[in-house]
Amino acid sequence: MRSAVEQLANQNSLNLVCHEHRIGEPLPSIEKLNKFVGIVREILFPGYFGNTSLRSNTIKHYIGVYVDELFELLSEQILAGLCFTCANPEQVDMQERSKFAQGLASEFISFLPEIRRLLVTDVEAAYLGDPAANSQSEVIYCYPTIRAIINHRVAHQLLKLGVPLIPRIISEMGHSETGIDIHPGAQIGEAFTIDHGTGVVIGSTCIIGSNVKLYQGVTLGAKSFPLDKDGNPIKGIPRHPIVEDNVIIYAQATILGRIRIGANSVIGGNVWVTSSLPPNTKLVQSKAKETDFSDGAGI
Amino acid sequence: MRSAVEQLANQNSLNLVCHEHRIGEPLPSIEKLNKFVGIVREILFPGYFGNTSLRSNTIKHYIGVYVDELFELLSEQILAGLCFTCANPEQVDMQERSKFAQGLASEFISFLPEIRRLLVTDVEAAYLGDPAANSQSEVIYCYPTIRAIINHRVAHQLLKLGVPLIPRIISEMGHSETGIDIHPGAQIGEAFTIDHGTGVVIGSTCIIGSNVKLYQGVTLGAKSFPLDKDGNPIKGIPRHPIVEDNVIIYAQATILGRIRIGANSVIGGNVWVTSSLPPNTKLVQSKAKETDFSDGAGI
Amino acid sequence: MRSAVEQLANQNSLNLVCHEHRIGEPLPSIEKLNKFVGIVREILFPGYFGNTSLRSNTIKHYIGVYVDELFELLSEQILAGLCFTCANPEQVDMQERSKFAQGLASEFISFLPEIRRLLVTDVEAAYLGDPAANSQSEVIYCYPTIRAIINHRVAHQLLKLGVPLIPRIISEMGHSETGIDIHPGAQIGEAFTIDHGTGVVIGSTCIIGSNVKLYQGVTLGAKSFPLDKDGNPIKGIPRHPIVEDNVIIYAQATILGRIRIGANSVIGGNVWVTSSLPPNTKLVQSKAKETDFSDGAGI
Amino acid sequence: MRSAVEQLANQNSLNLVCHEHRIGEPLPSIEKLNKFVGIVREILFPGYFGNTSLRSNTIKHYIGVYVDELFELLSEQILAGLCFTCANPEQVDMQERSKFAQGLASEFISFLPEIRRLLVTDVEAAYLGDPAANSQSEVIYCYPTIRAIINHRVAHQLLKLGVPLIPRIISEMGHSETGIDIHPGAQIGEAFTIDHGTGVVIGSTCIIGSNVKLYQGVTLGAKSFPLDKDGNPIKGIPRHPIVEDNVIIYAQATILGRIRIGANSVIGGNVWVTSSLPPNTKLVQSKAKETDFSDGAGI
Amino acid sequence: MRSAVEQLANQNSLNLVCHEHRIGEPLPSIEKLNKFVGIVREILFPGYFGNTSLRSNTIKHYIGVYVDELFELLSEQILAGLCFTCANPEQVDMQERSKFAQGLASEFISFLPEIRRLLVTDVEAAYLGDPAANSQSEVIYCYPTIRAIINHRVAHQLLKLGVPLIPRIISEMGHSETGIDIHPGAQIGEAFTIDHGTGVVIGSTCIIGSNVKLYQGVTLGAKSFPLDKDGNPIKGIPRHPIVEDNVIIYAQATILGRIRIGANSVIGGNVWVTSSLPPNTKLVQSKAKETDFSDGAGI
Amino acid sequence: MRSAVEQLANQNSLNLVCHEHRIGEPLPSIEKLNKFVGIVREILFPGYFGNTSLRSNTIKHYIGVYVDELFELLSEQILAGLCFTCANPEQVDMQERSKFAQGLASEFISFLPEIRRLLVTDVEAAYLGDPAANSQSEVIYCYPTIRAIINHRVAHQLLKLGVPLIPRIISEMGHSETGIDIHPGAQIGEAFTIDHGTGVVIGSTCIIGSNVKLYQGVTLGAKSFPLDKDGNPIKGIPRHPIVEDNVIIYAQATILGRIRIGANSVIGGNVWVTSSLPPNTKLVQSKAKETDFSDGAGI
């Protein structure tokens, strides 16, 4: 084992795989970001998430405390994100950077009422779109789409404010929790809902209109991307679909590339779509065929 | 931030998003339901789940204790479910409701032996259906399908007893843990198995026969549902497939609507099926075609 | 409830469902294996996983300590795996078996540098294959594929050393965390990457070349398997695909059976492939058709 | 062991030693009372106890939330105390008792400002009485006397409100934490301080004036107590000392019985006092004598 | 710091201060012994300690499970004690030693009913001796003497069975929790009680009769001890007091050496006693004297 | 309750009792200081404290890691202490202060080898002074004096380096754990031991020689102290005893004021000493007297 230790601690073998930490800088922390997400959810849907037994005569105190805790947690994690991605740490004035992080956290908080407004439209859409839902309460409390879309709307806002790394971690946390993978860059309109959700992927340059509904396993992805002269992918080029208002996409459909799915279209499950569709298109997979599976026990 | 707090605590903005709690009523608790599921699993498969180092001469004591703990936990959570969904809380006699909840918990416990009997058939089916399984032990210990189907059979029984909300939470817990989303309303026969499982969706009015096997990503979903005159979906109408005995459905197949998949059928992967199939049907996707992906690095 | 306890503790009803524990033998422990995986990740990518605030002047001490802790944890869990699957426990000399387990743990540790070398190629592949990735750091820190492939390369090595049960648990832990289900038996070359990943399944006899990229929902599975004369599946027969170098497979494609996907092929999403393909094949689903979804609100 | 289990579960051997629990009633909980004490301390000395990073612009929100949490915790624990000590549980209307407990909790909260006022005088007294104290902050943060006296003033108030059992548990928690054992019945004036404190005992019928200072190991105890005709001690008879204003009592002094220590007295350490002393008494132990300890290594 | 690490890891500096651990041997664990003590308390006083909400119809199951858990925990910790104090570890057959430890644990369990019988006399004595006690329940639940005497009676029995180290740790745990320090070697009769208790010390060769009551701060200690020719104290010589039946000793009294305190004696507080006293002695400190404390603010 | 909240949050009532926190500054943390003390103990006595299963071939790695963790924890807590006691926070350059704290932490670490050397003499003294001790191992593992003296020697060194507040908290942690209260200012020589220890108090200006032994309940305190013209105690004046080499002080003795206890003296238990004693003095309490306790059941 001694030799393994030598090799694993050998400086050459540590290129790329090792992240050094500078003392005094906060670290991005999954644990703290989990707490952050927990508090955001409590603020947005008080009484549904967390352990608070909320009563209306005290709600303002609770919101006040949660917002204060949020501010402190988020300021630190934004600072951690700035430090993690910083190329020239020795040239940084930490006190100034810390103030900058607090400014971003504060700005984020001012967007929370708007985020809640959007989420209410999402809850309504999920409720109206599912006969199995007994109430909006049940949707908020039990439906993974709500957790995924909270994480997304929060992460998206942070990304727009220029916060590095942290939005990506928050969206991955939602992905791990729900199986729904939405890149924080994706722009998503009102009344958005994903039924069941496992396996859904929404890429970073997607633009999704209002009142769109996806089922489990739907991909809104890239088909290809240009490389620069060194063979590295070129960043930031629009390469994911635009989905217009009132579109429904059934389970496992794969929609790739910077194409446009016109308003009011319905895409059947399991189809492969790589070109734009005009509004009102209804599309299904070509008919399956009967066959003979006679070669073994599996079938 | 002060203004954000004002807006977020503003009574108008709290409609729909806020769940008030009445002191003295228990709250539905993910943490306690996790504990409940943990104990149910220990009772059903003693020595496999939990930390117990079980020995045969003491097993009756352990079962006795676990059943007692289960009774207490479940009584409280059923009561929490009744309170959560109660429209007129002020008219309720809590002591009576508490007794009622205890009665339901007690009734549920009397079904545990039957639930275990069904699960044994599921374990056998998974073992016989997978050459990679070294033993039934490995299946019980490692296969996510077992965890999902335990949660389902438990949640389904609770739903049949009329318990509100709690069954739905238990099935979501299984969904989050395994990626398998089975609505507690679904009726599932003996010797049921799901291989790998991620992305499987089984809707609330599904009826599944004996000896059915699904692969990952299979959807047994609704295709559409009628609205009432106010535009709300009508509850409780059968809208998910009936799958008869001995059917196998391969990965990512999407089966939608109140259709019937006849006994002994085999559905290939990635197909879209929205009409009934007679017994013994063997169905696969129409043949893929060769093409040219020449437009970028992605492909 | 008394009657339920009697039935549930009844010896007949305990066949198959009960795992007895012999005092003094360690139990396989999800909690300890989680810790094991956490430490392996810290050793392989120091400073990225865990809570360590690592600095270069102390890294050797940290690696030394982690390797020592790993050795102790792994020795115990290997021993637990040997005991769990042991048919004749009374004939075993525990002290010898314990030494044997330590020997396997020690051998495993000597493979860690090679495992890290492979993982570096995986990180590079993920980075180069995704324009949304801002740095290799972000890939290591946030991409579920990295967590899944770490678990796989570790579990695969343990399986090759002959460790029972434990590799399977480790791969299931990765499955539960990421939605990516790779059997520890699968052989996977360098520079392997899975984008997004939810729903991917890779079977136990798969052989995957270098520089292969899969998208979410791809299945490399078995189509069928022969039964022995008692109706039990025959173990160990190659039944999953061989995927050659430089292949890309898009979302939700289902590739089944002991077929060969030739080098440099590109498989489009949602296709069903059950026969071998020559090198350089480009395959997509047959064209979807327009249709009429007029029967309800769902569509 | 089977026989031990039989004996230990035998109904006869369970008299006195077994406390049965009626389902639906809360249990007194050390864990919850610890939380209660933690929150009380945070309310009384905000920013010193607990983990709150308090800022003045948010303090009202924090106090509001803490008071609300206190109310809920305390209501439940008072109810638990009422149930624990209830002789005829079957005749109780739990809903009414629960309201009654809430009323007591609410009344207790209205005394918190007065409790804080008293504690401020205690802090000042400790600070002025100890040259080693650098600031009042240090006294609040580090001196065990403050923790003991907080617990006492809280427990005393609860006892005065008629709450059973709970005050006694709270004072024992303070005893275990600091070594200072003050019965909740003791009446203690302003500006009270105990230096170091380990071993101090203050009995239930003590009456202590203002500006009294005790050192470690001081006992204000009972010397004897009358028995009733069955040989049981008669409850509630004054049997502990009255200590008037401005008294100082040095380490390990033992003051027993319903005697009166007059104002401004100073009692030296290690004395045994069982009769009243007039005001301004200065008392020390009779002089020690030289001796010969020649009989061994201990001395 | 590098130099400090070198010095602290230097082999010479590690003599005496370093305890090496042999892999595969259990370690004495404060955490596990705390759990052990918790379970013993639950078995002896079911429903008072721990979190169990006990009901009479299930008590036998609970006792059965707790005894089983106790057996496993204790077997392991006895084994740990044997390993910790073992001089020639390489000559040990661990499997045999493990059996031996299990035998001791099993024997200990057979003494639990007798230990409970003794403790019931202790509870009664504490209740009858304290007018402030409202019930035996309160005594069991709140009085530190009960926790200390449980630990002692358990540790004493383990010591008598020849278990090394573990009894000493258990008594120290009681000491830390209550401030009462009873060496496991002390022999203590029925109906023993310690009021308040902080600072009580009872040495290893003490013999205490029935119906003895001590107050806080009482020492039953050694006055001196002979040395061997190397200057080391000779082990095992009786050097602590014998206290006969029905003795009461008030706070802070110090009783040293192998002397005998005759039956029915009463020792006042703060006295220093180093010679035997005949039965029925009543002893108090010589009278304190008035004095002048004029030299400063402290007095 | 609303009115209580108003009063408790009222600015006037918050003077003295409220500690505001400036964002970005670390807080003194009992939890972190507990961790700090745990790591110090592991470094000083490796294999005795903590959960490490230490083996000699890896000890240097462990020490290296622990020292590194210690450095980070301590730097932060020193910084927290500096911030807590800082009068003019707005004038502080945090980055400089942080560097300063790191310098102090680093200096402290360089004293660890000397602290360990002293502690070895303490362990030897405790072992040689107690016939009940079976080995030095048992002393290190079980004797509270060792925990108290570790905390003291660490806190004393930090105080000497000028660290504010933190040393005081560390000594209080030792006090709470062991009942032994040693002010960090006290100077204590080699081979110091305290038997049993509960109730011992050692004041801040004490000077204790080599080879001194105290028993439980001994006070080395102040008798009085001068006030300044405002009535505040004057800080820093020597007011506690000097105890020379080879002195033994028995249980509960109270030694007060800036007096000198000459070398080789033996002070019997329960005496009150307020004047200096020449070397070789042997002192005991004046003889107790027989008396009549006839007034009740207590006696």
Chain A contacts in chain B segment 176-195 (CB below 8 A): 176, 179, 181, 183, 185
Residues of chain C with CATH 2.160.10.10: 186-285
Residues of chain A with CATH 1.10.3130.10: 23-179
Neighbours of E126 (CB within 10 A): 24
pLDDT of residue F295: 52
Average pLDDT over residues A227-238: 85
Are B262 and B277 in contact by the 8 Å Cβ rule? The answer is: yes
Average pLDDT over residues A120-124: 97
Q: How many CB pairs under 8 A join A and D?
A: 35
Chain C nearest C-alpha distance from F65 (Å): 6
Could you say which of B23, B75, B102 has the minimum Cβ distance to residue D72? B23
Contacts of C64 in chain F (CB under 8 A): 58, 60-62, 64-65
Q: Which residues 6+ apart lie within 8 Å of A232 measured at CB?
A: C128
| Measured distance CA(F212)–CA(F182) in Å, rounded | 15
Contacts of F102 in chain E (CB under 8 A): none
Taking alpha carbons only, the member of C105, C119, C153 closest to residue A13 is: C119
Note whether E272 contacts F285, CB cutoff 8 Å: yes
pLDDT of residue C52: 65
Q: How far is CA F225 from CA D132, E92, F219, in A?
A: 11, 62, 17
- The vertex-D25 CA angle with D23 and D28, nearest 5°, equals 120
pLDDT digits (tens, 9 = 90+) for F188-203: 999 999 999 999 999 9
**For chain F, how far is it from start to end, CA to CA, in angstroms?**
48
Residue A215 confidence (pLDDT) above 80? yes
Are F74 and F100 in contact by the 8 Å Cβ rule? The answer is: no
Residue A167 confidence (pLDDT) above 60? yes
Q: What is the CATH number of domain A23-179?
A: 1.10.3130.10
| Measured distance CA(C193)–CA(C191) in Å, rounded | 7
Note whether D217 contacts E233, CB cutoff 8 Å: no
| Measured distance CA(A23)–CA(F206) in Å, rounded | 38
Both tokens assigned to E127: 């209740």
**What are phi and psi for residue F260, nearest 5 degrees?**
-120, 125
Q: Which one of C252, C293, C299 would you mutate to disrupt binding with A, by most A Cβ within 10 Å of its Cβ?
A: C252
Give CA E105 to chain center in angstroms: 19
Taking alpha carbons only, the member of F127, F199, F186 closest to residue F160 is: F186
Are A237 and A223 in contact by the 8 Å Cβ rule? The answer is: no
Sheet with C207-208, edge to edge strand ranges: C187-188, C207-208, C242-243, C260-261
Note whether D137 contacts F85, CB cutoff 8 Å: yes
CATH fold, domain F25-178, is serine acetyltransferase, domain 1 (1.10.3130)
Note whether B59 contacts C198, CB cutoff 8 Å: no
Note whether A64 contacts D60, CB cutoff 8 Å: yes
pTM of the model: 0.93
Amino acid identity of residue A75, one-letter, is S
| Measured distance CA(F265)–CA(F246) in Å, rounded | 7
Residue C299 confidence (pLDDT) above 60? no
Residue F298 confidence (pLDDT) above 60? no
Range among B277-291, C210-224, E2-16 rated most confident: C210-224
Chain F nearest C-alpha distance from E47 (Å): 28
Residues of chain D with CATH 1.10.3130.10: 17-179
Chain A contacts in chain C segment 211-250 (CB below 8 A): 215-217, 222-227, 233, 250
Contacts of B29 in chain A (CB under 8 A): 51
Residues of chain F with CATH 2.160.10.10: 186-286
Average pLDDT taken over every residue of chain D: 92
Neighbours of A142 (CB within 10 A): 20
| pLDDT > 70 fraction of chain C, expressed in percent and rounded | 97
Contacts of F177 in chain E (CB under 8 A): 176
Q: Considering the domain delimited by B24-179, tell me its CATH architecture.
A: Orthogonal Bundle (1.10)
Residue C180 confidence (pLDDT) above 50? yes
Choose between A40 and E228: higher pLDDT. A40
Pairing of strands F193-195, B207-208: unpaired
Name the maximum alpha-carbon separation found in chain F. Answer: 72
Contacts of A63 in chain B (CB under 8 A): 5, 8-9
Could you say which of D58, D63, D68 has the minimum Cβ distance to residue A68? D58
- The vertex-B114 CA angle with B110 and B120, nearest 5°, equals 140
pLDDT digits (tens, 9 = 90+) for B64-76: 999 999 999 999 9
Residues of chain E with CATH 2.160.10.10: 186-287
Q: What is the CATH number of domain F186-286?
A: 2.160.10.10
For residue D30, the SS3 value is helix
| Measured distance CA(E201)–CA(E204) in Å, rounded | 10
Q: What is the DSSP string of A96-132?
A: HHHHHHHHHHHHHHHTHHHHHHHHHHHHHHHHHT-TT
Among 3.30.70.890, 3.30.70.270, 2.160.10.10, 2.120.10.10, what is the CATH number of E186-287? 2.160.10.10
Residues of chain B with CATH 1.10.3130.10: 24-179
pLDDT digits (tens, 9 = 90+) for F202-235: 999 999 999 999 999 999 999 988 888 887 888 8
| Measured distance CA(B247)–CA(B210) in Å, rounded | 9
Chain A nearest C-alpha distance from D14 (Å): 38
Span of A118-127, A223-232, A264-273, C67-76 with lowest mean pLDDT: A223-232
Question: Among all residues of chain E, which has the CA nearest to that of B52?
Answer: E69
Within 13 Å and on the Cβ side, how many CA atoms surround F83?
A: 25
pLDDT of residue A296: 47
User: In F161-238, which ranges are continuous DSSP H helix?
Assistant: 166-178
- Per-residue pLDDT band for F296 (boundaries 50, 70, 90) equals very low
Residue A20 confidence (pLDDT) above 90? no
Could you say which of A56, A135, A199 has the minimum Cβ distance to residue B217? A199
Q: Does residue A55 belong to the interface with chain D, where contact is any CB pair within 8 Å?
A: yes
pLDDT digits (tens, 9 = 90+) for B47-99: 888 766 777 778 889 999 999 999 999 999 999 999 988 888 778 888 889 99
Give kind and range of the element (H or E) at residue E187: strand E187-188
Are C38 and B147 in contact by the 8 Å Cβ rule? The answer is: no
Q: What is the dihedral of CA F124, F126, F127, F132, to 10 degrees?
A: 180
Span of B15-19, B190-194, C50-54, F120-124 with lowest mean pLDDT: C50-54
| Measured distance CA(A257)–CA(E257) in Å, rounded | 92
Average pLDDT over residues E264-292: 92
Q: Which residues of chain D have pLDDT under 70?
A: 51-52, 293-299
| Measured distance CA(D1)–CA(E76) in Å, rounded | 17
Average pLDDT taken over every residue of chain C: 91
Q: What is chain A's alpha carbon radius of gyration, rounded to the nearest angstrom?
A: 22
| Measured distance CA(F241)–CA(F220) in Å, rounded | 6
Q: How many CB pairs under 8 A join E and F?
A: 218
pLDDT of residue D51: 66
- The CATH H-level (homologous superfamily) assignment of domain C21-179 is serine acetyltransferase, domain 1 (1.10.3130.10)
Question: Do A and B make contact, counting contact as 3+ CB pairs within 8 angstroms?
Answer: yes
Amino acid identity of residue F70, one-letter, is L
Q: Which one of C35, C52, C58, C70 would you mutate to disrupt binding with F, by most F Cβ within 10 Å of its Cβ?
A: C58
| Measured distance CA(F28)–CA(E245) in Å, rounded | 52
Residue E66 confidence (pLDDT) above 80? yes
Average pLDDT over residues A272-298: 82
Q: Which residues 6+ apart lie within 8 Å of D191 measured at CB?
A: D121, D122, D124, D125, D210, D211, D212
CATH fold, domain C186-285, is UDP N-Acetylglucosamine Acyltransferase; domain 1 (2.160.10)
| Measured distance CA(B206)–CA(B152) in Å, rounded | 13
Could you say which of E54, E63, E120 has the minimum Cβ distance to residue D21? E54
For residue E11, the SS3 value is helix
Burial of B44 (0-12, 13-18, 19+ CB in 10 A): buried
DSSP F213: E
Q: What is the CATH number of domain E22-179?
A: 1.10.3130.10
Q: Does residue D24 belong to the interface with chain B, where contact is any CB pair within 8 Å?
A: yes
The interface predicted TM-score of the complex, written ipTM, equals: 0.93
Average pLDDT taken over every residue of chain F: 92
Residue E198 confidence (pLDDT) above 90? yes
Burial of C106 (0-12, 13-18, 19+ CB in 10 A): middle
Q: Which residue has the tokens 């806080």?
A: E216
Could you say which of D24, D61, D75 has the minimum Cβ distance to residue B98? D24
Could you say which of D17, D231, D252 has the minimum Cβ distance to residue E270? D252
Both tokens assigned to C240: 């999953």
Question: Among all residues of chain E, which has the CA nearest to that of D295?
Answer: E224
Residue C192 confidence (pLDDT) above 60? yes
Q: What is the CATH number of domain D17-179?
A: 1.10.3130.10
Q: Which one of C2, C23, C62, C97 would you mutate to disrupt binding with E, by most E Cβ within 10 Å of its Cβ?
A: C23
Taking alpha carbons only, the member of A173, B179, A171, B127 closest to residue C181 is: B179
Contacts of E93 in chain C (CB under 8 A): 95
Could you say which of A123, A198, A224 has the minimum Cβ distance to residue B295? A224
pLDDT digits (tens, 9 = 90+) for E286-295: 888 887 765 5
Could you say which of D44, D132, D298 has the minimum Cβ distance to residue F17? D44
Note whether C138 contacts A254, CB cutoff 8 Å: no
Instruction: Return left, alpha or beta for E163; rule: phi > 0 is left, psi -120 to 50 is alpha, else beta.
Output: beta
Q: Which residue has the tokens 């090595």?
A: C157
Average pLDDT over residues B274-285: 95
Q: Does residue B129 belong to the interface with chain C, where contact is any CB pair within 8 Å?
A: yes
Note whether F102 contacts A23, CB cutoff 8 Å: yes
